[in-house]
């Protein structure tokens, strides 16, 4: 099996962050990552009482429009995301599925009254994108405080954890990618 990891801009994420993310995903997973334009109906995902966007509806729309060669598809948005049981989410993924979404909204310094810092935003975005994609490859939350699969409830927790998988998560991911992509897959530098 071959495939690509598509990154879909939703609403108005900065182009520089879209390029950064596709390059970083290619490097981290050893799988080609490309930007992909799709029509996402945000009206279906918007909750007017919360003034937020239901990330599960966005995942469903990504899946319905995913190209045939999709290994994984990641939405990148600047919108405030939620799922009904939580106040907000940085992202959401299907455990063992193909789709994930991540938002810049709560990763920006400006939301916390601090000056803009796009380098810090990209570092946070990378961690959350890798984390959500890790879930699509069956990885669960990890207890290792430095592992990118560590759960993050607050932005400070994202800053604290690393952008790499711990040895156990890396080994599991490598096995899953080899199963999915066959012998041609060479272990990437996670």
0.85 surpassed by pTM: yes
**71 Cβ partners below 8 Å, 6+ apart?**
1, 2, 3, 4, 5, 31, 98, 180, 181
Q: How confident is the model at residue 185 (pLDDT cuts 50, 70, 90)?
A: low
**What is residue 183's predicted lDDT score, i.e. its pLDDT?**
58
pLDDT digit string (tens) for 107-122? 999 999 999 999 999 9
**pLDDT at residue 157 tops 50:** yes
* Euclidean distance between CA atoms 34 and 7, whole angstroms: 6
- Residue 132 annotated to the active site: yes
**What is residue 15's predicted lDDT score, i.e. its pLDDT?**
79
**What is residue 180's predicted lDDT score, i.e. its pLDDT?**
85
pLDDT (average), residues 96-106: 97
**pLDDT at residue 189 tops 50:** no
pLDDT (average), residues 130-137: 97
Choose the catalytic residue: 57, 92, 110, 132: 132
Closest CA to 69 of 25, 23, 31, 24: 31
* Euclidean distance between CA atoms 45 and 51, whole angstroms: 10
């Amino acid at each position: 099996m071959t495939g690509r990891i598509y990154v879909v801009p939703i609403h108005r994420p900065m182009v520089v962050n879209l390029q950064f993310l596709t390059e970083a995903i290619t490097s981290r997973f050893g799988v080609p990552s490309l930007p992909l334009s799709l029509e996402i109906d945000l009206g279906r995902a918007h909750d007017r009482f919360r003034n937020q966007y239901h990330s599960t509806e966005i995942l469903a729309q990504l899946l319905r429009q995913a190209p045939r060669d999709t290994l994984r598809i990641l939405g990148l948005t600047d919108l405030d995301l939620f799922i009904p049981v939580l106040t907000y989410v940085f992202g959401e993924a299907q455990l063992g599925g193909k789709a994930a979404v991540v938002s810049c909204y709560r990763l920006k310094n400006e939301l916390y009254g601090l000056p803009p810092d796009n380098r810090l935003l990209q570092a946070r975005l990378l961690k959350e994108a890798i984390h959500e994609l890790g879930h699509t490859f069956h990885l669960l939350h990890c207890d290792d405080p430095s592992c990118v699969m560590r759960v993050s409830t607050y932005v400070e927790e994202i800053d604290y954890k690393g952008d790499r998988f711990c040895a156990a998560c890396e080994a599991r991911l490598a096995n899953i990618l080899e199963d999915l992509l066959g012998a041609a897959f060479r272990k990437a530098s996670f």
